[in-house]
Structure 1
């Protein structure tokens, strides 16, 4: 059993966050994606409306993650593109305002591992596996305990019905099917 007063603990010689509930701080969360435009340029987007909880288990493998993402909060730095991404051609934010993720399994070794879970977009649920890295712990000036994680993975957007595209005259398409998911998360200890 871990010390319930300490925000961190040592497991196999590695300093990790204490077991318990940690809520993702949306002001310090990057829930982003990267796709290719004309199969060349990387286009980045992010969701700023994130409500997520990490339940860190006594054993890291027993940890769980639940997240709800507000589709309307999508921001790629271009209003016209954002409006198109929120439209029925892509996320259909009016009909499907939320994206959810619920973990199903965790593997862990040292400061990294994998997080597998069910990602639901437009009422379509598919499994996704993310590579996760624990970056560290900080006690902030406002007496909050923060833990920081980074995660990434790749998905085929068409698996969730995000199929809009246009063929290019010279070959290829306007928007890549493969999308890179990129997450940088600070979570605050609760309780």
Structure 2
């Protein structure tokens, strides 16, 4: 039994070691959100200078992602709206200065990445989220002369699950569309 466990641990370590390591490119990565504003228009904003790392093995159809989204870099259509988004009414950036998305499961459709399953931490609470890939690709960047992988991902979340209840009782939707664009450079 000990021998089987030891072999399993070695096999898992070898599999993890074979996955390529990537660093998220903050210039080509962002997390944007869109929420319906009482059926009239959509409010949008985004978090920029996202950092983190990716492990990816296309042949084995495995991967992991860890992103850090600093709320100091949250932006919207105006300084006043951005200030309100960062307030305790919504993201409470002073108490919770960052959001995180951590995943250890890539879902494939054939050879293509179809989704990334993970956990989103916001307002101090961590819950499962599946980001659907609308596109994903790896290529050799002609300027950096190294492989870059990334794509566009989307999810619809219920913000109240994280405790973001602002104006829900007044009729504003609780559903928020997330759009995450990510590129990561092979180390």
Q: TM-score, normalised by structure 1?
A: 0.80
Deviates more, 1:140-149 or 1:45-54: 140-149
SS at match of 2:29: strand
> Equivalences for 1:40-119 in 2 at 5 Å?
40-57=40-57, 59-109=59-109, 110-119=111-120
Deviates more, 1:80-89 or 1:101-110: 101-110
Q: CA separation in 2, counterparts of 1:24 and 1:117?
A: 17
Q: CA separation in 2, counterparts of 1:103 and 1:124?
A: 16
Structure 2 counterpart of 1:151: 153
SS at match of 2:167: coil
SS at match of 1:77: coil
Structure 2 counterpart of 1:13: none
Query: 1:68: Cα distance to partner?
Result: 0.9
Structure 2 counterpart of 1:161: 163
- Bigger fraction of residues in helix: 2
- 8 A Cα contact 2:138 2:147, kept in partner: no
SS at match of 1:92: coil
Q: 1:187 aligns with which of 170, 174, 184?
A: 184
- 8 A Cα contact 2:106 2:113, kept in partner: no
Per-residue CA shift, 1:151-187, capped at 9, x if unaligned? 111101111111111666xxx33xx311111012121
Structure 1 counterpart of 2:10: none
- 8 A Cα contact 1:102 1:117, kept in partner: yes
Structure 1 counterpart of 2:143: 141
- 8 A Cα contact 1:57 1:64, kept in partner: no
Q: TM-score, normalised by structure 2?
A: 0.81
**Closer, same or farther in 2 for the Cα pair 1:103/1:160, shift >3 Å?**
same
In structure 2, list runs of 5 or more residues that go unmatched. 1-17
In structure 1, list runs of 5 or more residues that go unmatched. 1-17
